[in-house]
Structure 1
């Protein structure tokens, strides 16, 4: 018989229970046993390494503090540095307005790895950032730059360059 039950870890799973009834009952015959098969957290975790590998492969290689746009150092007041922190699975600030030529630095303050990926491909994506790792780029051209975390796509942000 199949039933739907919660496992001890809180995950719901279909279980299959079968009982065997002996032909004759006697004092020496043990009670019927049940065989339970369920989808355990261990089985669910079997595909996790593949999912992480796929997410990191999409991000591509990039250095932790690279200057992807190649702006010359000392380019004047426009070369100011603006910081965006990654904390609690969110970019802070979520939206930022900067002058052209500004250097943007993302720093991961979470215990989980994150990436920074341009939605339009206007700057090179970061590598997976561990706790306290940083990634930077310089945005020279005016416009709106949407970005997201390649591992957690629900994390989004926007930079407006004037």
Structure 2
């Protein structure tokens, strides 16, 4: 029996996707309350959790910009071309998958500092570099 698409099914799928995205994002309180020390009346501030650094790379006219990112940082990739592209490391350490024209993608930078060669798997002549420092 073939599967039939119904409005109810579409709404449930959309709701499930939205809930999954919301659950995947870490909670960030806007006004954290202080942590109380073992001694009554002595308050200590909450230690700041380091925010993961974000670096931005772009693709325009079939060319990658070179970006320097911190080890383990999230690197966003904006595709300004109308053609789809990927950002794929030559050694298989990261890959955005296909990024449609005008869309964004992301990957996590390697944890070891160094220069990493990258290319577009759709257009292999497109080559670039990510610096991790």
TM-score under structure 1 length normalisation: 0.47
Contact 2:74 2:108 in 1 (8 A): yes
Give the superposed CA RMSD: 2.3
Residue-by-residue CA offset, 1:33-58 (whole Å, 9 max, x unaligned):
xxxxxxxxxxxxxxxxxxxxxxxxxx
1:141 lines up with 2:112 in the alignment: yes
User: For the residues of structure 2 that align with 1:96 and 1:75, how far apart are their CA atoms?
Assistant: 25
1:83 lines up with 2:56 in the alignment: yes
Per the alignment, residue 152 of structure 1 pairs with 123
The unaligned stretches of length 5 or more in structure 2 are: 1-25, 28-47
User: For the residues of structure 1 that align with 2:125 and 2:63, how far apart are their CA atoms?
Assistant: 9
Task: Point out the structure with max Rg over C-alpha.
Answer: 1
The Cα shift of 1:145 comes to 1.5
TM-score under structure 2 length normalisation: 0.57
The unaligned stretches of length 5 or more in structure 1 are: 1-71
- The alignment of Structure 1 onto Structure 2 pairs a total of residues equal to 87
Residue-by-residue CA offset, 1:109-159 (whole Å, 9 max, x unaligned):
111111111101112x23221122222122222222211001111111111
Moved over 6 A (4+): none
Per the alignment, residue 132 of structure 1 pairs with 102
